[in-house]
Structure 1
Amino acid sequence: MIPNWLMKRASLSPEAPALSFEGETLSYAELYDRAMDHAGKLRAAGLHAGSRAALLGGTSAEMAVLIHGCLLAGVEMVLLNVRLTAEEIGYQLGDAAADLLICEDFCIPQTGSANCGALSYSDFSRLPAHPVEPEREWQDDRTLTIMYTSGTTGFPKGVRQTAGNHTASAVSAVLNSGLRDGDAWLHMMPLFHISGFSILARAVLYGTEVRLFRKFDAYLAAEEIGSGRVSGMSAVAVTLERLLTEFERSGRTVPETFRTLLAGGGPVPVNYLERAQRIGLPVLQTYGMTETSSQTATLSAGDALRKIGSAGKPLFFSDIRIEGAAGPGSRGEILIRGPHVTKGYVGRHSGKGALQDGWLHSGDIGYFDEDGFLFVSDRRSDLIISGGENIYPAEIEEVLAAHPAVKEAGVCAMRDEKWGAVPAAFIKTTGPQQLDPEDLEIFCRERLAAYKVPKVFRFIEEMPRNSSNKLMRSRLRELAADENVDRQH
């Protein structure tokens, strides 16, 4: 049995600060009251315990309260990425069998393909709050959230995350990083990502404050950290670099009260870590995925300086092994198990178990050193990580293949100074006719989120394939590297 997080926290520390946003700070008692009002509105919208609501919106107090309202009302949440197109959102709504879509007003243009009822947040806020008996406790396997992650087949997978998953993740994190009076977390991550949601979950379990901002802003982040108002924050490599630049430009100092900057979403360049050391910013690399409800390994503060580049050791409830590893330094696929690992998927992937022989096969390659610290060598050979967003080439290839003049398409990562990596597309046409790259870009923009649209389109006569007729992405990456050199000259 797991107590409803907010209900329990509001009874334990009602006056403690819970959520700050745009000049307003809510105590846990006030957050509970607002969330209960939203739970009543969910009932008025026809949702009951066990219903499934899709939420589409940015990072705001309104969305944070709505998330807690769903948790109180027992409504499962499908958290949708606001950067997706209407077509992509329509697919996820149908695959998850959502009962209702609630979206912030600015997202209304993206809801044209919705195959369920839809409410703007403005309309939702005007609903009367019906009486609701909050869900006081959850069974360990109670589904709380569903988040979509791209699959290698090109079809996104709906990952089912339970009360047990999220709670185990939060408890493991605090056993690693510790907890002090007055701790507050700077939240500039999307709420629909596992990293953003996990910050809310951890805060309410720990009884700490979340200082919420609509988006990442290097100046404001440096100000929050430098003022001593926050003790931790989460970032990806591209936002970490911007924060480092701001600290270096402004000459601000990092107070001792700031203890943790969790860096995830892909490898962090060693140069960034060295720059962070010079200004006293404690960057701790972490490794996790949607299927593990955020962190599964994190470098502790005490080891940060001597193990640069490591993702740390498995957290308390996590178990990690390297498949086929002969010993320290031996690389293989990273396998994970523990109570934080998903119970499975929904929709078209529901028949596919998440575990094989009790282990989640991450698809990532890594190794343990002689001291038992995890190093992640590659984030899935095909995966493109662009500014913390995961992009699978197969999804883009499927879109390109639908173009009448495209015979074959191959997509891979190309290095990019700003985003770390961006997609590059290689095209074999159906005939001698010429294709305009701008036309292909428009074709993709109509069907893919902007960050998934290839930044380079290159036409080739034959797609590189091996003897088994499989696409050789390693060769595409070599071609993309040449293309990137040409772009810079």
Structure 2
Amino acid sequence: MENWLTKRAKLDPNKTALIIEHSDFTFSELNSTVQLCAKKLHNYIHQGERAALFISNSFNGYIAILALQQIGAEIVFLNSRLSSDELQFQINDSAAKICLVDDSSDYHNINSVDTNKFLLSDILSMKPDKSFKPVEEFDNDDVTSIMYTSGTSGRPKGVLQTFGNHFYSAIGTSLNLGINDKDSWVLTVPLFHISGFSIMMRSLIYGIPVYLITDFNEEYINKVLANERATIISLVPTMLKRLLNNLPTGKHYNDHFKCVFLGGGPIDNWTLLRCDMLNIPVIQSYGMTETASNVVALNFRDADRKVGSSGQPLFPVNLRISNSDSEGVGDIEIKAPNVAKGYLNRQDLFDKKTTADGFYKTGDIGYLDDENFLYVKGRKDDMIISGGENIYPEEIENIYSKLSGIENIFVIGIPNDDWGEVPVAYVMLADDAYLTGEDLIGFGREKMAHYKVPKEFRLVKGVPRTASGKVLRRKFGDIKYKQI
């Protein structure tokens, strides 16, 4: 396909492309700024080479991403929350020629990493390479981005995402949400995550503006959603709860607002009810780094009657459940043009996750109802087998999250001589909560089968997470707790 940025600058030169704080840029202005940046970067990085990016949600970071695409370099996105050792591994594994560091990010951990580092401000002050010309075409099979998975079950893997992956992800989302030229997307999630980068790519493909949010300030974001013509915002459940808690009584989002596009895990029913009362549509979705964002999503007409579902497979996506049990729960497998090309330096591992007929094994388990709506039960590795019964931690967590006083709850299985495994819960309680283990067991027995009710409730102040915020259940054994 023709270069997405230069194409969009030709088609909609005067349409707003980017809004950051009180400044906005048309596609023509964005293209000019990006091309100048690319000319300067071209002194250090060329087509086919890899450049690591250590950035925050900043203007310079946004421009640098697009500039590297104009050069034809592969972008290695570094999570700015990683430790120095984790960053060093990814730099070494990707063999990035240079590492561009955003001045506005906290770059303490990157300082000790052994690599060829440049501050973006230093690059931008240099003379441009006048011989530079932007790539004319984006080949669907060319890798444009490399993102490392969080590594909840081992060493992080570099996911190879192509232009074709991002294009078909955008097309599937557009058909699901009915995107039009009046839409605009609020980008609050990190640019170095697939959720953030995919919004940038959708902006070019759809020709719509992006509101780039530099810091997650609830008051400011709520003002944007209430007073601007923002129509879509991508959030994870924690972000959504923070916005709701900050929204002034009687305040509503603007009349053009379409939806919260929700990813990053299940959402509790109480939060969905709050959104419904505030007339804030929530579109739940399902996807991962390996699928270049979402592959399943609810649509507006089904949101109310399919609460708890991630939705139906998007148009380009073929989804099936394999190895299902008597209740229809089994492995979620996907075949789609937005499934990544493979893992960097670990193609053998990616191939093991791919079936003979081309389906990618997601590692998640769930079921499809009679209308082909997907219900995700959780990670296969997290499933507890107790006395021959399958127990899904997220199902238990969702039930208990409705109980007043519980701020967070996480369920894992522990070995048991009689049953093989039994569920136990790690809970974080509100300061004013008074709940005993007996109370919690009694509540659970009213709501679910007795074998699903946690045998212990362990009070904790926090739980181990990956740099991207995913819960590391395999490390719960190291947590100090008080039994309640």
Fold-level similarity (TM above 0.5): yes
The 3 A distance-change label for structure 1 pair 34 and 450 is closer
The 3 A distance-change label for structure 1 pair 298 and 416 is farther
Greater relative CO, 1 or 2 (CA 8 Å, sep 6+) = 1
Query: Partners in 2 of 1:226 and 1:250 — Cα distance?
Result: 13
| Residue identity opposite 2:309 in structure 1 | S
Query: Partners in 2 of 1:230 and 1:293 — Cα distance?
Result: 24
Count, aligned residues: 410
* 3-state SS of paired residue (1:41): helix
CA contact (8 A) 1:142 1:162 kept: yes
The 3 A distance-change label for structure 1 pair 71 and 243 is same
CA contact (8 A) 1:158 1:349 kept: no
Task: Provide Cα deviations, 1:448-483, integer angstroms capped at 9, x if missing partner.
Answer: 8596898xxxxxxxxxxxxxxxxx969x68x97x94
The 3 A distance-change label for structure 1 pair 279 and 65 is same
The 3 A distance-change label for structure 1 pair 225 and 450 is closer
Moved more, 274-283 or 211-220: 211-220
How far 1:155 moved relative to its partner? Answer: 0.9
Partner of 1:436: none
Instruction: Say whether 1:149 aligns with 2:149.
Output: yes
Partner of 2:212: 212
CA contact (8 A) 1:165 1:340 kept: yes
Partner of 1:336: 334
Instruction: Say whether 1:194 aligns with 2:194.
Output: yes
Query: Partners in 1 of 2:24 and 2:229 — Cα distance?
Result: 13
CA contact (8 A) 2:181 2:207 kept: no
Partner of 2:239: 239
Query: Partners in 2 of 1:413 and 1:34 — Cα distance?
Result: 52
How far 1:484 moved relative to its partner? Answer: 6.5
Task: Provide Cα deviations, 1:15-41, integer angstroms capped at 9, x if missing partner.
Answer: 000001121101000000111011111
How far 1:112 moved relative to its partner? Answer: 3.7
Query: Partners in 1 of 2:311 and 2:350 — Cα distance?
Result: 30
Instruction: Say whether 1:159 aligns with 2:144.
Output: no
Query: Partners in 1 of 2:2 and 2:244 — Cα distance?
Result: 40
How far 1:246 moved relative to its partner? Answer: 2.3
What percentage of aligned pairs have identical amino acids?
36
Query: Partners in 1 of 2:267 and 2:203 — Cα distance?
Result: 25
Q: Tell me, which stretches of 5 or more residues in structure 1 are unaligned?
A: 386-411, 419-440, 455-471
Which one of the candidate residues 90, 93, 114 is aligned to 1:92?
90
Partner of 2:58: 60
* 3-state SS of paired residue (2:42): helix
Query: Partners in 1 of 2:470 and 2:199 — Cα distance?
Result: 26
CA contact (8 A) 2:331 2:380 kept: no
Partner of 2:301: 302
Partner of 1:75: 73
Task: Provide Cα deviations, 1:170-220, integer angstroms capped at 9, x if missing partner.
Answer: 011001101233211111110000000001000111110001111222212
* 3-state SS of paired residue (1:339): coil
Partner of 1:317: 316
Query: Partners in 2 of 1:326 and 1:307 — Cα distance?
Result: 22
RMSD of aligned Cα (Å): 2.9
Which one of the candidate residues 344, 347, 372 is aligned to 1:346?
344
How far 1:235 moved relative to its partner? Answer: 0.4
How far 1:98 moved relative to its partner? Answer: 0.5
How far 1:108 moved relative to its partner? Answer: 3.7
* 3-state SS of paired residue (1:356): coil
Partner of 2:371: 371
Instruction: Say whether 1:104 aligns with 2:76.
Output: no
Task: Provide Cα deviations, 1:287-332, integer angstroms capped at 9, x if missing partner.
Answer: 00000000100000111111111100000101111112378x5101
| TM-score normalised by L of structure 1 | 0.78
Partner of 2:43: 44
Query: Partners in 2 of 1:117 and 1:333 — Cα distance?
Result: 42
Task: Provide Cα deviations, 1:224-246, integer angstroms capped at 9, x if missing partner.
Answer: 12124200000011011111222
Query: Partners in 2 of 1:416 and 1:63 — Cα distance?
Result: 36
Task: Provide Cα deviations, 1:138-190, integer angstroms capped at 9, x if missing partner.
Answer: 22110000000033552100000000000000011001101233211111110
Partner of 1:16: 15
Task: Provide Cα deviations, 1:405-436, integer angstroms capped at 9, x if missing partner.
Answer: xxxxxxx9945579xxxxxxxxxxxxxxxxxx
How far 1:380 moved relative to its partner? Answer: 4.5
| TM-score normalised by L of structure 2 | 0.79
Query: Partners in 2 of 1:223 and 1:146 — Cα distance?
Result: 34
The 3 A distance-change label for structure 1 pair 240 and 413 is farther
Partner of 1:409: none
Partner of 2:360: 360
Query: Partners in 2 of 1:200 and 1:450 — Cα distance?
Result: 19
Task: Provide Cα deviations, 1:426-447, integer angstroms capped at 9, x if missing partner.
Answer: xxxxxxxxxxxxxxx9xx99xx
How far 1:113 moved relative to its partner? Answer: 4.4
Instruction: Say whether 1:250 aligns with 2:252.
Output: no
